[in-house]
Structures are given as structure tokens and as C-alpha cells.
Structure 1
Amino acid sequence: MPGPFVVPVHGDVECPTKVDVVVIGGGIIGCSTALEIAEQGISVALCEKGGIGQEQSSRNWGWVRLSRRDPREVPLMAASLRIWQTLNQRIGAETGYRRAGIVFHCADDEAFQQHQRWTRHLEGSEYNAEMVDRAGFERLFPGQRLAGVGALYTPDDGRAEPQKAAPAIAEAARKQGASILTECAVRGIDTAAGRVCGVFTERGYIACQQVVLAGGAWSSLFAGRLDLRLPQLKVLNSVVRTEPLAGGPETAVWARDFAVRKRLDGGYTIASGHESQVDIVPKTFRFARDFIPALRHEWGSLRLRLGGRFFDELRIPDRWEMDEPSPFEYCRVLDLPPSRTLTDKVLDQLRQQLPAFANLKVAQRWAGCIDVLPDAIPVISPVERYPGLYMATGFSGHGFGIGPAAGRLMADLVLGRQPVVDPRAFRFSRFSDGSKIEIITGF
């Protein structure tokens, strides 16, 4: 079940014994955080249990979108778009970022009106969104056969390459002085007088003043070892990569049956526009009450299944000693099989509805585990119980595009500087302070 080929990043041979900040997790969030901190001349070690960007950061769709964001994420995503626009030049490497626009198809008048209402969240910003009628949609996608009334079109949105971005950002962080440690799982944190003073890794102890947990789908397990309740579950999304295809659209498009965007190599990344799989696991029951609002909202798009994954996760210990291997060392890369049935259905619909894809050739299929929180927005926050500990996790399938600004916001909080946006909506304490957890679509 090999995942996509990710540009390899060779970890440092030497493990530092002391730094100012340790970042746990080498996905795009962790790498962006490390880069932001290192650029300020602060010593930072990025610790990744496997390879840089090997899990969801390389398995997502590669969309860099402001469109249809939860309104609480809109300011942060707007900041991220600004970062993406100059990121290649800043880091001296190719992330694959291109401003090419994104279109969300509207099947009926109700959907059109919902998308039209969403556009108000961009009022007063430098970014544009427009509603196009059926004729306008036809001009964007000549020969299309989708039944519908129009679409939401955001020309400022774009795309980037998940297999390139996190590695390129990690290498840039290293050039700024960061230690990049691959196959270096962090087993836990150390405290003195109630605050963080270091981390225990499989390669030895690293003294530090601050720790950022950016562990993606593994964050809940790590937090649980600290008796921190992070209600996080995994959603499995299956993706197809095609061979290069001439004549296909530059603009990414979402419809109920498919989502597709062009790749830098001339091929396309394709997935279902609405269906994902959810394995029932022990944490499903532990966090069931937290996810009731989300389940009601997304019931039609989630395919629940009970299988071997339940027992795989049942066998994972939630307690371990710092001088023994942790669960993170027994699973370096979470690489689950994609659904051939689902992806075949998606490809059939795509071929029928967008004739430009009639002759597409499948190059590869993979699956990725999306780390989901009950309200579908991330935690980017200090952890009050452990001064010096921070979290940046739970991006709920929205993390790739927003990653550079999420890293900046996390670095702002760690370094005590003015945050790029108001972080209140992303506080970890919302799951324990009595706040009402809401699903907000922005429609």
C-alpha cells in the first residue's frame, strides 16, 4: 500500500541536547512553524517519527483555497494566501504553488444561494469571489455535462504540490538553523516546577523551554499520555493520481461526485467531492458525544465501517514509559489502503461529466487519514495545564492550504509576538470551558 512519492528529506545525524523550542511532527504545519521560529534566530528542533510530510501532508488534494471556508478560518486562510504567493521565492524551492482559481459547482438554486451567501465573508478583503451562471460555468469547462445552475468561482485560489511543499519548507528551516530529525519519535514531555523543560525522544533527551505538538492524526494519543483530552478522530479519504493529460482544465473544480485539480506534472489529483470513510474504533465511542453535531451535519457523506482497524487501535497502548518504545515507533507512517470501489465510481462520473477526462489513465491511488475535531476547525493554542506546551492540530482536511499561516500563528504564540489573526476561535480550552461547539459552514 505505498503512498505517494514524497521528496525525501534526510534527517540530521546529530541530535541536539538543548534547543529553545521542539516541534513534534514533520507535516506542513510543523515544518511551517519550525521555519517561522528559525527565521527569528531562535533554536528549534523538528522531530518527526517517520519522514517529512509522509502522512496527510502529502496525501491531500493539494488545494489552496479560501472558498467555502468556515468563516472562523477565513482571516487565517487569507493570510496563508499572502504567504503562498511569495513562498517559493522566500524558501528558494518549488512548492508547486500556482494561482489558478477554484470552482464549486451548484447543482440547484438552493446550493447557488448558499454559495452566494458565503461570499459575504470576503467583503472588505483583497480577495474576490463571484457567482457564475450556467453559461459562465460552461465557459470555464467547455463541453461539461453536469446538471446545474452555476457555480462559485474564486480566481484568487490555487493549488500546490503536497509531495513537495512540506519537504521544501523543512529544508528552508534547516538553512535557517533548525535541526531536522527524522525517525525521531518524541515519547513525551518533561516538566519542572509545573512547566515544560524538555522532551524524551527515541534518540535521547532534548532540553527546551517550549514544545509544539503538531502531530496530526497522532496528536490525541500523545495528548492522552499527558491526561489531556483532545476529541480527535480519523477520516479516511481516497485519492487518485493520473498520468499527464493534455487538454484538461487549469482551474480546480468541485462537484458532488468528484473534485479535481491539475498537478505540476500535467496529471490530475482526483477524489470524491463528498464521500469519505470512517473506521469505527475505540475512540469513536469515547468521543461520540463530542461528535454528535458533526455527525448530524455530515451524515450523508460519511461511510462508517467496522473492521480490522478497530482491533488495530485497540492494541495501541495509551500509557508507556519514557525509556521504552512508544506507539509512534511501531508505526512510522500511517498508510491505509484506498477504496477502489469509491475511486472507480468517482472516475466513472468524472469521465461522463467532464469529457476532457474521457481518456485519463490512473497512475496511482492512495489514502490519507484526516485528523478531525468536532467543530472542524483546528486547535492552534497554548495548553494552559502545561505552561510551555502548545498545540497545532485537528485541521479537519483543511490543513494543507492554511498550513503556512497556521505555522505563523503558532510561532506568534510561542514567541509572544502580535498574532497574525485573532487566535481565540482556535483555543484548546473550548473543549473544556463550557463553550458551545458549533459546526459553521458559512452558507
Structure 2
Amino acid sequence: MKPSFRIAAATVALIMLLSLLPGCELLPSGGGAVSVTSIDIEGSEKRSLRVGDVCVLEVLQTHIATEDLTWSVDGDAVTVDEYGIVVGKKAGVATVMVCYDHFYDTVEFTVSGDGLNGGEDGDGDGDEENEITSDPYVNVSKAEFYANYTPAKSFTDAYYRTMHGLLSGSLEVPGQAPTVAASRPKQGGRYVRNTEMRYEDNGNTYVVLDAAGNVAFKVYRGAAYITLEEVAAYMFAFGGADGAFPANYTSSKKTNPETSPWGEYLRVNHSYFLGDTERYPREPKLPNITGCGGSLQYWEMDIGTGSYNNGNKITRGACRLVYGRNDLDGDGVYEKDELHVFYTYNHYDDFQEYLNYQGGWGERFGYETNGSSAIKGPSPYVSVTYSALSARGNSALSMYVVPEKQRPLAA
């Protein structure tokens, strides 16, 4: 498995180094020196945190030992430990530095004082979420709400919307084919699946990046979504064996939109996906799937395209999101063989993997892709490269916010 990092519930379990930069030589099996020409960040790096937020900084050279790195901080807005774990402590600005030999790199953090721990040292300036102190939709009709619609701006906003059967994401009904990013990152001739899983708000907000590693949009736990991009990101971040799915989805395929609080935004179906390629020979084999002897159970759910739901009835089409997300080893971390999200818009004949960024869809594989021939059968799954988007180019540090349940104990 490609090296990755993990933060255990009670302590730091492992922080491993990600990908080799130019100028780094492999460490011989018998030991020896590591040659490093630079660990500079490309341009200036600035990040934002709130009081109580935790993030992990990682040096990307894969053969520099953690104990050979020196972390320091200029300012008291954050703290950093020997593993590169940064904690937002008070409102202000601080610069974190990592040194190796005579090379160094820095990240500037701006901390707001309205975070998860109450922000007692803050400056009193609230963000959009904290401006919502009570239910803003209690006296708003659905007609009025959708006439002046904007997507939810915070987890609290999304929470109150769900209470009233209101969407949090885009209103645009997707087309059948996915909208693919103009430039999908590749490494070694394979598409990159982004390994960064960036959470905020105690794990209730998931930050979705674009292909360049910039923030594209956010999805909120327990909120309602209809677009392929938002539903895929939601299931990648929050789905799992507990049956978690967007609030406007129901596992029942018979629910009537006329009697549902979600009306035309109701989406149905959340059921086991068998993946039995002997029984269904047109279907390609998905990675590690139980139906073919693997250990990862997959589920399927509808993606409503076109005239899927006119408010009176649902006409199910051929588009499905098929995902497997199980913590098979119970370590609290989803390794690459425990998390896959796929999209099929021709009823399981072909699939594309969600690459964990906006417009990130992998290479098609399956029956139609292989010429719709019973003799040739479906083409196999096309493997991807696992890498953090922020680690591309010359960047030497990457960051993600750690959910509350995965944070180390305070010193």
C-alpha cells in the first residue's frame, strides 16, 4: 500500500511521508544518507484555522525520517509538535517552520477566535456559521426559499435547512454524463485520486478541492444534495456501513414525492450492490468487491438526471452511484482498498471512479468501453495513482483538518 498518514483517536499512530520530490535519492536498504536539494514551497503558503482546529503538516520526501525534522513556530496563535501537528490556540497570525539539515519551509496560519472550543481568546468576529444562532427558516415558505435560493454556507445553515426539507446544495439537475475537469492530474500515466480528506466543524463539513488543489465547495453532514458532484463527495466523506446518505435520499424505492417533504428533490434507492460478475457478465469487477470474493461491500443509489422527479412521481433512469466505504480493519482510517466511489450512467455497463476532487472522474471501464462484445466482455478496472493534490508540483507541505474523533489527546 502506498505510504499514508493516520491520526488515531487517542494519540498519533503514524505520520508517514508521501511522495518523492526531484533531488531526493532512495535510501539504500542498508542505510545511508539522503540527498535533498530543496524542501521549499512553491510561492507563499497561507492557511486559515479556527481556535480548536487541528491540522497535520507533512514533508513530502518519502525517505526523511520524522525524527530528522525540526518543527518550530513564530507566534502564539498556534502550537506545533514534533510530528507537525498544528493546533489553533488563539486568534492571530503565526508562522510554522520545518527544517531539515539547512533546508526549511514555512506555512503562515491565520487563526480566527470563533472555533470549536468557544474561542475565548478571540476577537469577537464571527464567521457565517456562528452568525446563525436560531432557526432562520421557521417562517419561510418553500416557494420563497427557492425563489431566492443560494446554497448553504455553513454546517449550521445546512442543519436548519434539513429540518424543513430544504436543499443545501446546487439546484441544477445533472445530465447523464459527468462533467469532467479540463485537466485531470496524472502521475505515471494514471489519473491521480486525491488522498487529502479535509474536514472542518468537528468532522461535519467536508472540503472538496478542484484539480489544482484549491477549495471548490463544501458538503455538510446530514444535508440534502442532488448533483452528482455533491452526492459523490458526500458519500466519499460521510457514507458507510451505517447507511449514511444525503437527507433527501430514502432507501425505499416506493416513496412518493407528493407526500415527501423533499418533493421534486426526493431521491430514492440505497441498497446492496451485488457485484456478481458471473450472474451479470456485462458488469466489470469493482475493486475488492464481495460479489467476486473480495472483502468490500458496495452499495448503490440513484442519481436523478433529466425528468427523474417531476414532483408527482419518480421515473428511475440508468444512472447510479456505486460505492464501497468500510473500515475493514477497524483502525478509524479508510485505506485505499476500503474506500471507492464509482458512477455508472448506463446501468452498470461502464463505470468511472470518483477521484475526490471537483470534476475528478477516472477512466471509463466496462462493457460498452470494450466494444459491447459478449466475447471480449467488459474491460477491467483502470487503477489510479494515490497522491495529495496539494503535494503536486514543488509543494513540500500538505494540510488537512482532522475531525474531532481522530484528534490526539491534548498535552
Q: Structure 2 length as normaliser, TM-score?
A: 0.24
More helix by share: 1
> Greater Rg, structure 1 or structure 2?
2
Q: TM-score, normalised by structure 1?
A: 0.23
